[in-house]
Each structure stands twice: as C-alpha cells, then as structure tokens.
A and B are shown apart, each in its own frame.
Chain A
Amino acid sequence: MTASMDETEPANQTGPDHDPGVDLIWDVDFDVRDAPSAAFIDEVRRTFPTEPEIDRTLTRKMHHRSGPAYQRPSLEELAKHLETFLRHELGDVEFEVVDLHWFTGGVSKIQVGFVLERREPDGSTRSDHMVVRMDPSEGSNATSRAREFELLRLLKGTVPVPETYFIDAEGEFFPEPALIYAFAEGVTKPRVATTGKISGLGTNFGDHRRLLAPQYLQHLSAIHNADFRGHEFSTLAVPEAGTTQAAEWAVNHALRCWEEDRGEDSPLMEVAARWLRRNLPTLDVASVVHGDFRSGNFLFDEDSGRINAWLDWERGLIGDRHRDLAWITLPTMGHYDAEGTYWVCGLVPLDEFFTTYEEVSGLTVDPERLRFYQVLCCFSIIVSTMASSYRIARLGKSHQDILLTRVEGMVPVISRVLIDLLKEPVT
C-alpha cells in the first residue's frame, strides 16, 4: 500500500536534520498542539512509527488542526456536495436525491440518510436508501474512511454489513472524507431497554439476549477467522506473525494520539506507556479486528432478533484478535445485572465468554496477550476521552463537542481498571 499525500512524506528519521526545538520530555506548553508546527508533527511521527494508513490519517489530522472550527452545514449545502459527488460517480446516469435527513447517534462521524433514485438502462427507476458517513473537521478518533470502506467490502458475505457504494477518500467533493453505504434496517436496542450511558454503551437487551448472544459470538468468530490471504489492500497493512509488529503498531498509534491531542500530563498514562513498550506480545496469527464490537454498533430486527448489520468499522484493522476480546470485556462496554454479573456487550456472562468464544471460533485466548491488550485498550480509551475530546472541544472541531466533553466521565472508571492491570505481576 502507499501513502501518496504530500503531507505524509516520510518523517525525518535521523539526527542532523532533526529539529531540536521540539522536546517531548521537557516541554510543558500543551497549547502548541492547537496549531502544531511542522517540526512538532515530524517529531511525533518519528517517535511513534506506525502503519502507513494510520500515519497518513493522523498526519492529515495534525495538518488540518489549525483550520477553522466545525460549522454545521445545512442539509441544502450537503445536498449540493452529494449531488456533485454522485454526478462524478454516476456519469451520464439520470438520478435524483430525495428525502435527505439527519441521523443522530454518531459520536465521531456525521451521518445523513437519503434515497438515491436513478434511471436504469431499461427505463425503470431504481431506489436505494443510503447513508453518507462523513468526518467532522476533527473526530474523537481520527480514522480513515477509505479503510472503513475497504473493510466493509472485505467482510461482505462473512458477516452482515451494509452494501458499500461510493467513497470520497480525501474529501474532494465533501468538506471532509466520506463514504456512502446502504441504509440498514433495525434497532440498536430493544424499545424497552434501559441504558444509562451514551452511544449504546451498557445496553441491557433483556429477553433479546437469548437470540442475539449466539449471533454475536458467531459473528465475532467469523470476523477473526476471515480469510484475507490473496487480497490486495490499499489501506490495510498485514503485520507479520511470529513478531511483535502488530502490537508495536497499535502501541505507537495510541501513544502518538496521546502526544498529539493531550492538554495535560498524567503520570498514570506515563507508567502505562512504559509498561506497554516493555511488554509487546508476539502475534500468533493475523486476524481481521473490528475494533469496537459492542452494543450500539449492530442493528437487529426486534421481532426476529436477527442481526442485520455490523456498523462502525472505523477502528478496524488486521492484527491481534485479543484487541477485540480486550475491548469488549472492559467494564464500560457491557452491562451489570442486579446480581452483579457482568454481561459482555450486554449479551454473554463474562465467566462464560472466553470459553464459549474458544469453542465457537476454534481460536485460543492467551491470558497474557489479553492482559496486554486490556492495558492498551484502557490507554486508548483514556486518550479518546481525556485527550482527543478535550482538544476537539477546545477548538470546536466536531458536530458533537458537547457529547465528547461528557465522556470524560469514563476516565476514572477506566483508570481504576488500568491501575489494577498494571499492578498485576507479569508472568
């Protein structure tokens, strides 16, 4: 794969040209991150090397940071962008965009629904319900729409995912990068569900558990066992099995975001960063990883209990399956019942989860790798909720600044988990 943008030329790797003015050990001015200098961007890239598409996406974020705050476009403005883009994509085909409307619920992405009516060669009209999924000026996770598009295409036929239609990878037609995929029917939680949080976190599925839990495990297993050999990827990098490359990329990704976004110091994060660097595990086999495989990110039919679509692949990658397992078993992702039992994703009791996963997937769960990725997931969540959210809201960069500031409330919950994990002796 390649990274072709000018702004992602290779970072300076060597001494003589390296700008000594940026000192990540001693500098105390966090406001420089509001409008980062080329030297700062270069120093962070050099210090935390990661896979090319992540590097490209984060470098783009930093180059765009000093730009204007997010201004919510009107639906009329979005319609103009959409029609220009579709004209480019569809050529001479007659088409019309109807019923353009906002969706709510997306924390990090702007989502708009519409119906595309287009004339078929036989003269009939075809109608497709679609969704535009676009970045704000800066999201709480700076991720690649092109990678999300590539993952959705890769997983088609493996698990239910929306049909993909169009991609504006660099934001040539929309204000920011955007993808267009099919609208999927379904709900993220039962109409009578109780959830005290946001974005589908902690959903209690009640009677739907019985129907959803087996599908949840089968889909996770199918993703982790997906065969990607022989595929040519433009945005996905495949780490080498038998090495620590997958873990190294993931750690540097998280550390880089912390360094780019934070507005304060945290000794806990410093200790965790040190621990992560010293405990990189070896990958046994590379898997597709969803990255956020939890309630709120799948749609199901409330009558049949059938899962219709897995959404939000923005954190997806090819790497270690333990990254998914660690993420979904964190206490903020599931639901505690009245007896104190923790339900993974609100669906499977934690004490049964790993055994059942091993049975269904035929893959093993390595406790040490699980612990490593639990530490990494805690670290990444604190980056998003304490550092990235702060920076974005400070600069007014997203459509959900008010929501992003609220997720600070997750920091102490995750910090406690992180402290406990770091206190455990390494075996």
Chain B
Amino acid sequence: MKDHSENTLRAAIKSLRDTVTPAVDPSDPQAAEQLRLTIDFLEFLRTRLYDVHARHRYELEHQMVVARSLLKDAHQVSDRVGDAMIRALSTAAAAHADAATHTRDLQAASDALWGSVRTLVREAAAAPEAVQERISTSILSGMEPLVELESAWYLPFGFEPDPESVTPLADLWSTPSGTAS
C-alpha cells in the first residue's frame, strides 16, 4: 500500500473543522483560536509533507556552498577551525551525494556544517579585520538562497509583504546551486 498520510491529514482537518469546531465552548476564545491555528497548521503540513526531504537536500547543498567559500579564511584563523570545517564539509558532501541518505542524516550534516561556521565567526574575533570582513561578506551572500527557501516554505502563513515575488517551492527544487558536489 502506498503512503496515505496526505489523505489522512485531509480527514483529520475535516473532522476538526466540521465536528470539533462547533462543539467548542463559545465562551472560551482561546480554545477557539487554538483550534483554528491547529487546523491551519495541519493544512500547511499537508501541502509540505512530501517536500520535507527536498528541503533538507536544498539546505545542505547551499550550506556547503557557504562553507566552501569560507575554507581559506578558516585555515587562516586556525588549523583547528579549518580542519573542523573540512571534516564537516566532507560528511556533508557524502550525505548529499548518496540518494539513500535519510532525512535525519541530512539534517545532522547541516547542523555540523553550520556549527563549524559559527565556530569560525566566533574564533575569528581575534583575526585581522580584512579576514573578518571577508567572512561576513561570504556568509551574507551565501544566505540569500536559504532565505529564499524559507520565504517559499512559510508563504502560507501570510507574513510576506509581497507574496507574488516569492519563488515557488517547485522552482527552487529544480534550481541547482551548481557547486554542490
């Protein structure tokens, strides 16, 4: 049998909307508000359910681009920092290249890679000004595709001031970073 999770979510949403909502005590506005938010989130999850793995792959791919742009400066800060970043990058590249990598392992690779970048920025506080500036500039440029993903992911929540300008998720999945492997 194929996975029926999306179908089940539809049923859960219908149940909450049609059966549970009318039964909520009208004198308890917080209960009514939280039920509405819960239904809303289940609907959001239904639309994202089969994109979660693709999101983790996209994030790891673009995080590797950021880390690679920092490697030279990482070694200039210290060998320990540079070596830690190389190890994290190596694990990340292997996880990304293997189609069988579990979603949780993609996330673990992302966490380790971002941890190495945090260490670099904090250890670089004593490095020459030019090195610190290069690190900041590389990170700011590299963050943009990741923020673009978050905008697309959370678009249904209604916070985007210009929703029309947000790239659809499907378009992001088909746009390679070009330097992931």
Contacts A102-B29, A332-B159; A267 near B117 (Cβ below 8 A): yes
The distance in angstroms between the C-alpha atoms of A408 and B66, with both chains bound, is: 23
Give the chain B neighbours of A408 by CB distance below 8 A: 154, 157
Q: Are B114 and A413 in contact (CB under 8 A)?
A: no
Consensus secondary structure, chain B interface:
helix
9-residue interface stretch from A23-31, A35-43, A53-61, A369-377: A23-31
Residue of A nearest to B122 (CB): A25
The distance in angstroms between the C-alpha atoms of A427 and B122, with both chains bound, is: 24
- B105 close to A (CB within 8 Å): no
- B160 close to A (CB within 8 Å): yes
Q: Are B139 and A402 in contact (CB under 8 A)?
A: no
Report which of B111, B117, B125, B147 forms a contact with A416, defined as CB distance below 8 A.
B147
Chain A, interface size category, equals: 35 or more
Q: Are B38 and A402 in contact (CB under 8 A)?
A: yes
- B30 close to A (CB within 8 Å): yes
Residue of B nearest to A101 (CB): B27
Q: Are A270 and B139 in contact (CB under 8 A)?
A: yes
Q: Are B136 and A406 in contact (CB under 8 A)?
A: no
Pair count A-B, CB < 8 A: 108
Within 8 A of A (CB), among B60-81: 66
Among A332, A336, A419, which residue has the most Cβ atoms of chain B within 10 A?
A: A419
Report which of B33, B118, B150 forms a contact with A265, defined as CB distance below 8 A.
B118
Contact bitstring A89-114, B, C-beta under 8 A = 1, else 0: 00000000000011110000000000
Name the distance in Å between B44's Cβ and chain A's nearest Cβ.
9
Chain A to chain B: the 4 pairs with minimum beta-carbon distance, closest first: A409-B157, A412-B150, A409-B154, A104-B29
Question: Can you name 20 A-B residue pairings with CB atoms under 8 Å?
Answer: A26-B119, A102-B27, A104-B30, A196-B158, A264-B111, A265-B118, A267-B66, A267-B121, A268-B139, A268-B140, A270-B139, A274-B121, A274-B132, A274-B136, A336-B161, A402-B41, A406-B37, A412-B150, A412-B154, A423-B140
- Residues of chain B touching chain A, judged by Cβ–Cβ distance below 8 Å, are 27-30, 32-34, 37-38, 40-41, 66, 111-112, 114-115, 117-119, 121-123, 125, 132, 135-136, 139-140, 142-144, 147-148, 150-151, 153-154, 157-162
- Residues of chain A touching chain B, judged by Cβ–Cβ distance below 8 Å, are 24-26, 28, 101-104, 196-197, 264-268, 270-271, 274-275, 331-332, 336, 399-400, 402-403, 405-406, 408-413, 415-416, 419, 422-423
